[in-house]
Structure formats: structure tokens, C-alpha cells
Amino acid sequence: STPRPGGVRRRAEPPPWPPRSLMGRLPPGAAAELRELGSGREFPPNTELMSEGAGDTRVILLLSGFVTVRRSLAEGGEALLAVRGPGDVLGELAALDGEPRSATVRSAGPAVGRVIRADVFRTFLRSRPEVAETLQRVVTGRLRDAVRDRVDTGVGPARLRLARTLDSLVRNHGVPDARGGLRLAFPLAQRDMAALAGISDAGLQRAVRVLREEGVVTTGYRVWVVHDPERLRAAADPASHRCRPPSARKRSGSTEPRSPLGRPFHRVGAAARTAG
């Protein structure tokens, strides 16, 4: 809270929401109403907020922290589909259609959210059509991202795919770093970055090495810092790779074995980008 004249304290205003999040797209009044729904809850790191296949239909509005969205693979293990952050809503599909959860959601660090019953959430959407329309745009945007990423996964050299993925992440979840540039606001293991980019672990290592040598990024244990966002954006442009000599493409990891469909044998493209 913030002191006011006369000793009266008023409730502190929430920080600005990321512009692409649901809360960031809503008018202030509607966002404030949504923020009051349900009950507050804190989630320690690595807490499972939602489980793939579960029949519960509650919605979680993420107020702070980050979560990972993962789906089980037929051959075992999980694929990282997406990362969600402050202002994002989780589980909206199950709340709307009553179907089982399509993915598992876990906290990537400490997180805080509002847990909202499905019937309360649906009633709120009926009473605030502008919120329902905005939510529809968010879900549609995620579907567009899923289609684009499914097409892009496995296409182009590893340096291009890593640059494209990292550029998208820092645009949405980057925070200023003390050393200059932008740092991902949540910890992300290299194997998870490889899964998001649709490249092998070895291809990721080669691509990271090239971007590091170019002075674009530095990495640490689950830490990603982009020192030159403009150069990263240029590296994410396919046109910049069409002009590179074969030796450069080889260094960035473009020679990994592929299936007849043009994808790395062991990678599976993300089929969805939302946790329902």
C-alpha cells in the first residue's frame, strides 16, 4: 500500500500488464473486476497447477511469476509447448467446453494467481461481453501462433530457429538486464529452449555458440541474456540465412538428420499453444 496525506494508506496499483496478455488488452475497469474474481493463491516453484487429462474446470488468472505448458509425448517424456506469464489466463478452454485438460501447467518459479470457478468465470464473461471478445482474440492469437510454429518447426538452420524463438520470448517476457540488453524473466533450461525451437540439443549448442561469438547473446544456468535485440531480430529473418555460405549454415546446426517431412527425427511440433 501507499501512504496518503493524513496517514491513510491506499491499495498499491498493480504493475502494468504485458501488452499481449489478457489483462494487458482489457480496459482498466474490466481488468480490475476480473482481478477480484476467485481466491488468491501462491504457488511454490515446480507446482503442478493443472494436469493433462484431468476433469477439473477451474480457471487461474496469473498475477505474477511464470508457468510452463507441457504435453505428454507418445514415446515418453513431455514437450514444452509454451510459457505463460503475468496477466495470462490458464485453463479457459476446459472452463468453456468442459473437456479434459489438454496439457500440464507447472510453475517455473514462485507464482501468484487467482483461482476462479468455471461457473463464476462464465457468468463474468456473459456480463462483460468486451472481456469475452478480448479472450476470444487471445485464444485465436494462440491458435495462429500454433499453426505458424507447427509450420516453422524444423524449417531452416538451427541458428534461425533459435533466433526466432528467443526473439519471440524476449519480446513477450524480456526484462532489462544489468549488463545491458534483455534477459528472460524466468529460468529456462537449454533442453526446453531446444524443444520450443524444434531443434536437437546438439543443434542448439551449435546455434548458441554462433550467437555468442557474434555478441548477440550470453547464457548461464537457465539464464538467457540478449545483448543486441536488433541483431537477434535480424538473425530471426529467414532472408539473412539464405545469403549465408554453406559453412556458416553448417556451424549453426543445419545438418542434423531429418525425417522425410523435413523435421528432425526426434522432435515433435507443438500441436497447441494453450492449456485447456
Over residues 135-164, the pLDDT tens digits come to: 999 999 888 877 766 655 556 789 999 999
User: Which CATH code is given to the segment(s) 15-151?
Assistant: 2.60.120.10
Segment 64-82 shows an average pLDDT of 87
**Whether pLDDT at 265 is above 50:** no
Encode 179-221 in three state secondary structure.
CCCEEECCCCCHHHHHHHHCCCHHHHHHHHHHHHHCCCEEEEC
Residue 243, classed as helix, strand or coil, is coil
CA dist 112 to 43, 105, 168, Å? Answer: 6, 14, 24
**Whether pLDDT at 259 is above 80:** no
3-state helix, strand, coil in the chain (%, to 5): 40, 20, 40
**Cell matching residue 115:** 483461482
**Whether pLDDT at 177 is above 70:** yes
Confidence (pTM)? 0.72
The answer to whether 93 and 56 are in contact (CB under 8 A) is no
Strands (E), the chain: 2-3, 9-10, 39-43, 48-50, 59-64, 67-72, 78-84, 89-90, 104-107, 111-116, 174-176, 182-184, 217-220, 223-226
Over residues 77-121, the pLDDT tens digits come to: 788 888 999 999 999 999 999 999 999 999 998 999 999 999 999
**Whether pLDDT at 11 is above 60:** no
For 155-251, CATH number out of 1.10.3210.10, 1.10.10.10, 3.10.20.30, 3.40.309.10 equals: 1.10.10.10
Instruction: Give domain limits for the chain.
Output: 15-151, 155-251
Work out the pLDDT band at 228, boundaries 50, 70, 90: very high
